[in-house]
Amino acid sequence: MTEETKQGSGTIFYSVTQIQKIRTAVQVVEQLKSEWRELTKSESFSSPSPAIEELKQLIGLRQVKERIERLYHFLQYQKQRQEEGYILTDVLSLHMILTGNPGTGKTMLARLLAKIYYELGILERDEVIETNRSQLVGAFVGQTEENTMNMVMKAQGGVLFIDEAYSLKREGMAGNDYGQTAIDTLVATMTSKDDISQFSLILAGYPEEMKQFLFANPGLRSRFPEQNLFHLDDYMLSELLEIGESIALDNGFIFSTGGLRELRARIERAQVDETFGNARTVKNIVLEAIFNKGANVALDGAMSEEDFMLLTEHDVAIKKVKDRKKQTPQESLQALIGLENVKKEVAKLTSFAKIQQLRKKKGLPNIPLELHSVFTGNPGTGKTTVAKIYAEILKEIGLLKRGHLVVCGRSDLVAPYIGQTAIKTKKKIREALGGVLFIDEAYALASKSEGDFGREAVDTLVEEMTKHRDNLVIILAGYPESMNVLLRQNPGLLSRFKKTIHFPNYTSSELYEIMNHYAKEFGYRFEDELKLDLIDVIEASERDGNARFAKKLVDEAIKHQAERLMFSEQLDDEEALTLLLKEDFSELFEKGRKDDETISSRSGSTL
């Protein structure tokens, strides 16, 4: 197969022979670089470290590389001073803290540090003992200290690496949780003057969790000098693509232009929040593409070189199973009973968002999208249902990556103590990233007194809305008057929630349609004469529950039907098992009759 370029698509194919030539050329260049370093190396310091050379080959991590090289240079300097007989009483601590999101290279960096310490003779071996809370914390008194000391002894002369170290001190842990004992034991071994202290402790975890963990353990924090705190940033998109191509090449594959474009799209879709796996996610995508290539190729015919080494767009793309029966979000919205004005408002928002997306793609100026909204109305008027559909619509047009709905209230955001509300609110926001956060009865966040932490939750919401501008939509829901109080009390909210959609109460006819639709979902139907009677009695009833009220009526009628049939001879009659009669709604009609009598008596007393 020869190199082929397709005009317009820019697709380039390389043969296996060409790939081999490229690899050979790269090896020659690396060999020449190695020989050049040998010829020009400094006489004052030792030859370049294999660990440092390995570090330099890593993609990205520029700041971390610079700091590690400076650390290596200092350790070399310190070693030579000792060899010359100079005194250094306070040696540099080998204990480290590594923070970063998943897949940013924390474990890999810990292994490189172990190699560096070993190369310089600071540690006896370059082995890294990896552990976590489950292997350290015991279930009864004395077990945790024993477990922790066993791990420390196992790591003697090397590195003890504790991943997700923040889990040792859990928020609100009970008295029988011995995580603090593990921390105290580690601090004791770090400060010991005995041989037991001859190891390097490296704690790793997510940035925010490690920050809170160290804040709560000042004794532990003080054992790590500032220069020994390393933060590993998320990889940039270009770096992730380079990592993907490198992983493919290591496995004997290359990407076509379409394959690389789809890899980019999948990475972008996965970059939702701090749980994004960075290099780990990219590796999984590439290995999945390789599996798809091998699982789909025809083995019974003659295969080309492309079948063995080219990853195409088809290989990288997620295989979607089409469900022909499933409605689109727009169809689901239109299928809702009533809410005509709400449907128009959501359609208007959707159309605006679509047009701005198109203008952006064509390089035209676009108005910033303000998708945060206030939904006002009584309970049971469809606010949560519409919010779920709204999230799906925004995902469909490419404005949200997940399109899920997270429903919460005041209790999910506000904590009883100072400083905890912001943490609690951020946790719920993190859960909603890539989707819609629906705060029901949001007016409860309005501050009622000086010590009320609702204001802290609101301030955190405003701060996080700005931080995650393109990755989060928030909907505040509640009664109209109460929501106005909340917005007036918080100017920051008022400026960010410019769209209010009101959900009116359902009419009696609409409530009947909801009841009828709900009954049909479970294989029931109403007798023909029941419609007008039900509409009349619903009209005369108190129906603050709206749609919930309607569904509850059907649930009660189904129970009455079951009780009626149990004492009849119709148990084998399929028609009877599906039919709901007027007498099954006896409680509703009885209540309606009493309400009519009450109204009549009041009218008579006023004459």
Residues 249-272 have pLDDT tens digits of 999 999 999 999 999 989 988 888
Mean pLDDT of 222-234: 89
Prediction pTM value: 0.66
CA atoms within 13 A on the CB side of 79: 17
285's CB contacts (< 8 A; 6+ apart) are 244, 263, 266, 267, 270, 316
Residue 5 — very low, low, confident or very high, per pLDDT cuts 50/70/90? very low
Rounded CA Rg of the chain: 33
Q: What is the rounded distance in angstroms from the CA atom of residue 404 to the CA atom of residue 392?
A: 7
Q: Rounded to the nearest 5°, which phi and psi values hold at 511?
A: -65, -35
Region class of 121: left (phi > 0), else alpha (psi between -120 and 50), else beta: left
Q: What is the rounded distance in angstroms from the CA atom of residue 206 to the CA atom of residue 98?
A: 9
- 495-554: per-residue pLDDT in tens? 889 889 999 989 888 888 999 999 999 999 998 888 888 888 787 776 665 888 888 889
CATH fold of 50-231: Rossmann fold (3.40.50)
Identify the DSSP state of 226: G
Q: What is the rounded distance in angstroms from the CA atom of residue 198 to the CA atom of residue 352?
A: 64
The answer to whether 232 and 104 have CB atoms below 8 angstroms apart is: yes
Write down the pLDDT at residue 78. 85
Mean pLDDT of 338-350: 90
> What residue spans define the domains of the chain?
50-231, 237-297+304-316, 329-502, 508-600
Give yes or no on whether 237-297+304-316 and 329-502 have one common fold.
no
- Name the residue with higher pLDDT: 1 or 165: 165
598 pLDDT more than 60: no
Strands 499-503 and 436-439: unpaired
CATH fold of 508-600: Helicase, Ruva Protein; domain 3 (1.10.8)
User: Comparing 167-176, 309-318, 420-429, which segment has the lowest mean pLDDT?
Assistant: 167-176
The answer to whether 490 and 457 have CB atoms below 8 angstroms apart is: no
Write down the pLDDT at residue 606. 43
- 37-45 LR contacts (CB < 8 Å, sep 24+): 45/76, 45/80
Write down the pLDDT at residue 194. 65
CATH code matching the domain that covers 329-502, chosen among 3.20.20.70, 3.40.50.300, 3.30.70.1350, 3.40.50.410 = 3.40.50.300
CATH code matching the domain that covers 237-297+304-316, chosen among 3.40.50.300, 1.10.8.60, 3.10.450.50, 3.30.70.20 = 1.10.8.60
Write down the pLDDT at residue 607. 41
Residue 594 — very low, low, confident or very high, per pLDDT cuts 50/70/90? low
Residue 597 — very low, low, confident or very high, per pLDDT cuts 50/70/90? very low
Residue 592 — very low, low, confident or very high, per pLDDT cuts 50/70/90? very low
87 pLDDT more than 90: no
- 23-66: per-residue pLDDT in tens? 777 777 778 777 776 665 544 444 568 888 888 888 998 889 89
173 pLDDT more than 60: no
SS3 439: strand
- 144-155: per-residue pLDDT in tens? 999 999 999 999
Instruction: Tell me the two tokens of residue 255.
Output: 């990407």
The answer to whether 588 and 541 have CB atoms below 8 angstroms apart is: yes
